[in-house]
Amino acid sequence: MRATRGRDEGDAATSIIAATILRRTQPSPPPPLSSRLVRAASVVLNARPRLLPILQARSPSPRAPTSDTAARRSSAIAASPLRRQDKRPEHTSSLSGANKVEEILEGHENWCKAEFRMEPEVFRAVANLLREENFLRDTRGVRIEEQLGMFMFMLSHHASTERLKKEFQHSGETIHRKINEVFDIIPALSHRFVKLPNPNQTHVKIASNPRYMPFFQNCIGAIDGTHIPITIAEDRAAPYRNRKGKQNVMCACDFDLNFTFISCGWEGSASDAGVLRSALRKGFHVPAGKFYLVDGGYANTPSFIAPYRGVRYHLSEFRRRGSSQRNEYANYKELFNHRHAQLRNHIERAFGVLKKRFPILKVGTFYPIETQIKIPTAAVVFHNVIRGLNGRKDWLDNQPNHINPSDYVDLPEGDNNYPSDIESNDGNSLRDQIAHQMWAAYNN
């Protein structure tokens, strides 16, 4: 009797629970319940198994796709070119970019010289400087050493983004972003490392040499322009001569071969004197009472002393005559021009070192024109940084050539056209004064 009463009470409870569930879902048709959800409901409600058929009866079974739908779906999947299982990883080298850089730094020093154009200890010092001065930051995927390696590899190998992707095992987006981050800090680095020398101190190379002292004691450096190959779209090529033309870059340097000023982006058709005039309008200045040495492409002024025209000037001309004869100079103008050329030659030597260290300056690159204009300034900045960290230059003559020689663009240096500027009487008087003092000392 008790067993029968228990079953009756259980059946009644089950019916009440089922009715309650159905009443709560009456306003809208109940959503389909999966078998897992149904099992969970049975556990929560502590209902008996006979409740399940009631609930399952109200859950419509999923509709099977028709034969046409299934055929279309399978054909679309088969035709898709983006199927995950068909993609092959692009960066499969066992040596990551970070490991590649570390292997170069830990290997023979010649390897670092060839790949990054500086000694290993100098490379590490540059990376630490960029980190400690907060110019760049390490990220989870790329440390500063690898980012610097990418940039130096680009400058020394004329490397494209595709080449950098292969060498450093990163995506094109990562390469592009990391290279641009370095370009973005070049203005700040230029402000820090490309600056005028102390105007109140005569350089030791002048102060310690009686050929130059006291005649050039107020000279703070030399200025000249150099041509850098450039590649540009046809619709913008005219001022640059042609699509594979050149840009005129004006630089000043001191007598330690450090660059103290740079102006980039001028078309190859611009004269050296015109570039200088523009630089002066944009803020380049010469301290009062000081002057730079310039060649015949510039007007002679108190701030920019040029050689005498129509008189022997180039060092090769003096070497042909010989320097052992007492009467090697015909007059004070020849003597002045020779001493002037010896000091001004520092800017030509500085350009030579710069282009040996960063051969990308000798080719027309495939980068956008905005990037091509930034490259000379970046090269000048790192040239100064490397020299400031005691990086040497004597080994640059013995480096392997990573760029096809046929890609080099042979451009004439200097500006052979006389400037249209009217020479200053004050500039001529200053030059004559220096030349006469020099001539008197030479003949005593």
pLDDT tens digits, one per residue of 401-425: 766 665 555 555 555 554 545 678 9
- Residues of the chain with pLDDT > 90, as a percent, come to 57
**Beta bridge pairs of residue 305:** 293
The C-alpha atoms of residue 31 and residue 7 are separated, in whole angstroms, by: 31
- Asked whether residue 29 carries a pLDDT value surpassing 90, the answer given is no
**Beta bridge pairs of residue 404:** none
Q: Which of these, 299, 338, 324, lies nearest to 419 by C-alpha position?
A: 299
Q: Are residues 133 and 182 in the same domain?
A: yes
**pLDDT tens figures, 56-113:** 555 555 555 555 655 565 565 555 554 455 566 666 667 899 999 999 999 999 999 9
Q: Are residues 277 and 355 in the same domain?
A: yes
Q: Are residues 131 and 219 in the same domain?
A: no
Residue 224 φ then ψ, to 5° = -165, 170
Q: How far, in Å, are 158, 161, 243, 378 from residue 154 at the CA level?
A: 5, 9, 22, 11
CB distance 119 to 113 below 8 Å: yes
Preceding omega of 197 cis (within 30 degrees of 0)? no
Final residue in a domain of this structure, among 164, 193, 222: 193
Residue 222 φ then ψ, to 5° = -130, 150
On whether residue 83 sits in a domain, the answer given is no
Q: Are residues 212 and 292 in the same domain?
A: yes
pLDDT band for 319, please (50, 70, 90 cuts). low
Q: At 382, list the tokens.
A: 């790192």
Q: Are residues 300 and 428 in the same domain?
A: yes
The dihedral built from the CA positions of residue 149, 154, 160 and 161, taken in this order, carries a sign that is positive
Q: Are residues 264 and 358 in the same domain?
A: yes
On whether residue 423 sits in a domain, the answer given is yes
Q: Are residues 101 and 137 in the same domain?
A: yes
Q: Are residues 188 and 241 in the same domain?
A: no
- Asked whether residue 324 carries a pLDDT value surpassing 50, the answer given is no
- Asked whether residue 194 carries a pLDDT value surpassing 70, the answer given is yes
Q: Number of folded domains in the chain?
A: 3
User: What is the number of residues in the chain?
Assistant: 444
The C-alpha atoms of residue 286 and residue 222 are separated, in whole angstroms, by: 12
CB atoms within 10 A of CB 11: 12
Q: Which of these, 357, 409, 414, lies nearest to 380 by C-alpha position?
A: 357
CA dihedral 88, 93, 97, 103 (to 10 degrees): 170
CB distance 212 to 218 below 8 Å: no
Q: Are residues 215 and 335 in the same domain?
A: yes
Which domain does 355 fall in, by range?
Answer: 204-364+409-443
Q: What is the pTM of this model?
A: 0.74
Average pLDDT over residues 215-232: 93
On whether residue 119 sits in a domain, the answer given is yes
Q: Are residues 283 and 360 in the same domain?
A: yes
CB distance 254 to 239 below 8 Å: no
**Beta bridge pairs of residue 246:** 229
Final residue in a domain of this structure, among 167, 193, 219: 193
Name 197's Cβ contacts closer than 8 Å, sequence gap at least 6.
Answer: 203, 220, 221, 254, 260
- So what's the pLDDT on residue 424? 81
Residue 262 φ then ψ, to 5° = -150, 140
The C-alpha atoms of residue 342 and residue 312 are separated, in whole angstroms, by: 13
Q: Are residues 187 and 228 in the same domain?
A: no
Kindly report which listed range (75-79, 128-132, 251-255, 271-275) carries the lowest average pLDDT score: 75-79
Average pLDDT over residues 245-254: 92
Name 135's Cβ contacts closer than 8 Å, sequence gap at least 6.
Answer: 129, 185, 188, 189
Higher pLDDT pick, 209 / 72: 209
The C-alpha atoms of residue 368 and residue 217 are separated, in whole angstroms, by: 44
∠ CA 172-175-176, nearest 5°, is: 85
On whether residue 153 sits in a domain, the answer given is yes
- So what's the pLDDT on residue 2? 47
The C-alpha atoms of residue 258 and residue 194 are separated, in whole angstroms, by: 8
On whether residue 381 sits in a domain, the answer given is no
**pLDDT tens figures, 337-383:** 999 999 999 999 999 999 999 999 998 887 888 899 999 999 999 99
The C-alpha atoms of residue 135 and residue 128 are separated, in whole angstroms, by: 10
On whether residue 35 sits in a domain, the answer given is yes
Final residue in a domain of this structure, among 150, 170, 193: 193
On whether residue 114 sits in a domain, the answer given is yes
Q: Are residues 300 and 180 in the same domain?
A: no
**pLDDT tens figures, 99-154:** 999 999 999 999 999 999 999 999 999 999 999 999 999 999 999 999 999 999 99
On whether residue 92 sits in a domain, the answer given is no
- Residues of the chain with pLDDT > 70, as a percent, come to 69
